[in-house]
Structure formats: C-alpha cells, structure tokens
C-alpha cells in the first residue's frame, strides 16, 4: 500500500518555479530518498507533504489523506524530524518524550508504556533520566527520532538525520532507520550524504530545478543517469581535445570536471571503445555512485 502519493505538484514563489509537475509514490515499509542539489525543490516538496505550505496545483495524499483538504488528519499521521533539533536540552530524555506524548493527547499508563518502548527502541533506556544536554550527538539525534515516533505515525520525514555525527553514531542511526522500515513505516529521507541515501533507500526520486529527473531503485537510477562505469582521468591539455571530440558522439551524459579530473559516465560498450581509442591514457574505472549523480546535477561541466 502507498504511504504517499504525489501527482503533478506545482508551486511557484514569485519568479521561482519551485515545483514543476512533481510526481512519485512511497510505499509502506519503504525508505524513500528525496535527493537533489540546493534549490531543486526538496524542501518545498517536504513542506507540502507535511502541510506547512499548499501547492498551486496537483494533489498529494499522505497516509491516504489529502494534504490540502484534510491537513489535520495528515498531521496526526506523520512524524517530522527536522535538521534542527526540537529537544528540550534542560529536560531528561524521558521528560522530552512524555511532553511530546501529552501534545498528542496520550496520558497515563498508555503514555508511560509508549515512552518506555521508545527509549528501548532508540537505545536510550539507561540514559532516560539524564538531562539531554549531556547526551552525545548520536544520542540526541536518536532522541529526536523517538520524539517523532511517540504518536505512532504512519509516515516519518527525516531531514538530514546524521548531519554532524561521527561514523559510529551514523551507523547507529542507520540501524534504527532499518528497524523502522521493518515495522512497516513509510520513511522519506532527505540527505546530502550520498552514501547514506545509497545504503538506506529502497527507492529514490531525484529533483533538479523543480522537476523529477530520475526515479526508481538506486542502481536503476544510476544506470539510467550515468551508465555502467565512471572513468576518471586527469585533464591533460595535450590529450583532452581528442578525448572531447570522441566524447561528443559517444558519451551517455556530459563529462564532469572535479578537482582537475574528468569524470566520464560510460556504458560497458563505450568503455571498451574508449580503451581501444586511447590505449596510452591512464585512468581509473569504477562503478557509478550517487556522489557522481549529485555532482552531475549540482555542477556545470567546465572541462
């Protein structure tokens, strides 16, 4: 079943077309990566789905409810974990969760049981009665996620959930997200860490200039946008004109110049042709990743 359905969303801010016919769906029990460079339309999409702004046209259903016609029903069905923490640092972890529960009209034994469940789920049971200011970065982020889950939402929005965390804390958050997916929660993930998106996402929608430019499982998106291989070679002025001429007729996409090197997306057949055409060139061949895709969308070709 679909946790989110988005159909032809459009939103304009004065001279900026923030969303231009965006469509996608998110299934229950799925981690859905919403990616794109700054200004692509990610924030406007999430704000629309969270009922914080209204689209100019199109339709969006969250947990089966229309975000424009029934915003209060949508709000009761979603959890939102913003990049900026909503934790009260002078309260304990338990007190933070109790307060959030009361906001959602939970009380008594039902609330206490739910808080205990969440503290165990996010690995904070032993630290539950410590003031949150003394938590590590990873503990604070896990408490943020627990706060978003108090009312048992059907859809959870995670905005940059591991920004600023050390590797160990990031893995702990990833493990938590994987567990939530197993429980059937629909999760929308926005992140600038492409390894995170590639590791966690069951499906991706990639936005650029307010439009969907790719959608599907990560490997499918990479194959469609970048081919089977990425060739990395130094931009040598003596050989680049010949390489550029060859690329002009055979390349799947535009070359990308990064730190004095060219990154070339090639299919398997094109890679073989490239090797035959330039046997003396030294280069690296590797599989494409989401970093390549992000850079392709965010940076102009300067090679």
DSSP per residue over 259-294, as a string? TTEEEEEE-HHHHHHHHHH-TT---EEE---HHHHH
First to last CA, the chain: 46
State phi, psi for 20 to the nearest 5 degrees: -135, 70
Mind listing the domains of the chain with CATH numbers?
2-216 (3.40.50.300), 223-298 (3.30.70)
Q: What is the pLDDT of residue 123?
A: 95
264 contacts 295 by C-beta, under 8 angstroms: no
Give the per-residue pLDDT at 172: 94
Question: Tokens for 240?
Answer: 């680049």
Cα-based distances in Å from 182 to 69, 105, 178, 251: 30, 27, 6, 40
pLDDT score of 270: 85
Which pLDDT score is estimated for 116? 98
Q: Please give the pLDDT value at position 251.
A: 58
Contacts of 115 (CB under 8 A, 6+ apart): 94, 97, 98, 101, 150
pLDDT at 302: 41
The predicted pLDDT at position 176 comes to 94
Beta bridge partners of 234: 261
Distance CA(70)–CA(183), nearest Å, equals 26
Where do we find the tokens 């390549």? Answer: 292
Question: What pLDDT, on a 0 to 100 scale, did the predictor assign at position 241?
Answer: 77
Q: What was the pLDDT predicted at 237?
A: 65
pLDDT in tens, the chain (303 residues): 899 999 999 999 999 999 999 999 999 999 999 998 888 999 999 999 999 999 999 999 999 999 999 999 999 999 999 988 889 999 999 999 999 999 999 999 999 999 999 999 999 999 999 999 999 999 999 999 999 999 999 999 999 999 989 999 999 999 999 999 888 899 999 998 888 999 999 999 999 999 999 899 988 888 787 778 888 887 666 777 787 777 777 655 566 666 667 788 888 888 898 898 888 888 889 888 888 887 777 654 443
Contact 104, 66 (CB under 8 A): no
How far is it, in rounded angstroms, from Cα 154 to Cα 26?
12
């Amino acid at each position: 079943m679909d946790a989110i359905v988005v159909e032809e969303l459009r939103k304009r801010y004065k001279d900026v077309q923030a969303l231009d016919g965006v469509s996608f769906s998110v299934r229950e029990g799925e981690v859905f990566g919403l990616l794109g460079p700054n200004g692509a339309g990610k924030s406007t999409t999430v704000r629309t789905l969270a009922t914080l702004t209204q689209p100019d046209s199109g339709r969006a259903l969250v947990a089966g409810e229309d975000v424009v016609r029934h915003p209060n029903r949508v709000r009761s069905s979603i959890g939102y974990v913003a990049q900026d923490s909503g934790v009260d640092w002078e309260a304990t972890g338990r007190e933070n969760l109790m307060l959030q529960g009361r906001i959602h009209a939970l009380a008594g034994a039902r609330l206490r049981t739910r808080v205990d469940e969440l503290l165990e789920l996010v690995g904070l049971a032993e630290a539950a009665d410590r003031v949150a200011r003394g938590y590590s970065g990873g503990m604070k982020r896990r408490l943020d996620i627990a706060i978003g889950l108090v009312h048992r939402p059907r859809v959870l929005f995670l905005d940059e959930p591991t920004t600023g965390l050390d590797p160990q804390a990031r893995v702990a958050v990833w493990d938590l997200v994987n567990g939530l997916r197993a429980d059937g929660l629909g999760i929308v993930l926005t992140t600038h860490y492409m390894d995170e998106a590639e590791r966690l996402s069951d499906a991706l929608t990639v936005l650029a200039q307010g439009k969907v430019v790719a959608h599907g499982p990560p490997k499918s998106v990479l194959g469609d946008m970048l081919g089977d291989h990425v060739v990395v070679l130094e931009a040598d002025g003596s050989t680049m004109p010949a390489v550029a001429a060859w690329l002009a007729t055979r390349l799947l996409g535009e070359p990308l110049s990064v730190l004095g090197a060219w990154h070339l997306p090639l299919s398997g057949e094109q890679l073989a042709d490239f090797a035959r055409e330039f046997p003396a060139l030294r280069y690296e061949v590797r599989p494409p990743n989401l970093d390549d895709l992000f850079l392709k969308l965010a940076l102009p070709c300067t090679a």
